[in-house]
Amino acid sequence: MSIGDVEKPQRPQRRDAREHREKIIAAAQSEFASGGADASLEKIARSAGVAIGTLYRHFPTRLDLLAAAFEPRLQGFLDGADSSLRGRDPWDAFVFYLDNLLSVQAGDRGFNDFLSRRFPASAEIELIHDRMCRQIDDVLTRAQEAGSVRPDIALADIVNLIWSNGRMIDATSITAPGAWRRQLHLMLDAYRVEAAHSLPEPPMTDAQLYDAMVRLSEAR
């Protein structure tokens, strides 16, 4: 092998490039929080103090920027939930998990959008969404096996709750920012075994649920 064939080590990212990236992510988190996942990328660039071309050099697509802005936060939520649920009574764990998840959703419109949709173009985001669905399913199954939650509740019903909560947050965030919690606890009563009545429609299958979440993403 000649000297010219030796693979050159990658140069570390320049400090100003790292700073630009960090500023863009911080601005995106702020703009997405107030304007949702479809917030203006031009406005994000202005807030970060960079040209729009600089934003696109770091994040070629909106999806790349969404992942950088929200994936660490969702990962942190899931890690925190894993530790905080240990040792809790199954019903208490179920209530705690949903209250915590919807509370995070209520405080950030972009995170709300990120939770509510699926993004098949990003394998990275899909993996973390899969983990969230498994975590919800585990909490739900534990409560059902303990006889606390009616057995006909499925993952799709919890995602429906996330969707409906998102719409309620949009409608009430200024005039009644805590209204979502009342609705959650009304729904929790409906999930209890003792409240069970037969339902006229089965829950969506996993495939139907996934397709619906993808359609939400494509519709924006």
pLDDT digits (tens, 9 = 90+) for 11-29: 545 778 899 999 999 999 9
pLDDT > 70: percent of the chain:
93
Please give the residue that has the higher pLDDT: either 1 or 207.
207
Amino acid identity, residue 12?
A: P
How far is Cα 209 from Cα 215, in angstroms, rounded to an integer? 10
Q: Domain 13-60 is classified in which CATH homologous superfamily?
A: Homeodomain-like (1.10.10.60)
Q: Which CATH number fits the domain 69-218, given the four candidates 1.20.140, 1.10.357, 1.10.287, 1.25.10?
A: 1.10.357
Beta bridge partners of 149: 192
Q: Hey, which of 40-49, 100-109, 156-165 has the most confident mean pLDDT? A: 40-49
pLDDT digits (tens, 9 = 90+) for 105-124: 888 888 888 888 888 888 88
Would you kindly state where each structural domain of the chain is located, as residue ranges?
Answer: 13-60, 69-218
Query: What pLDDT, on the 0 to 100 scale, is given for residue 31?
Result: 93
- Model-level pTM? 0.78
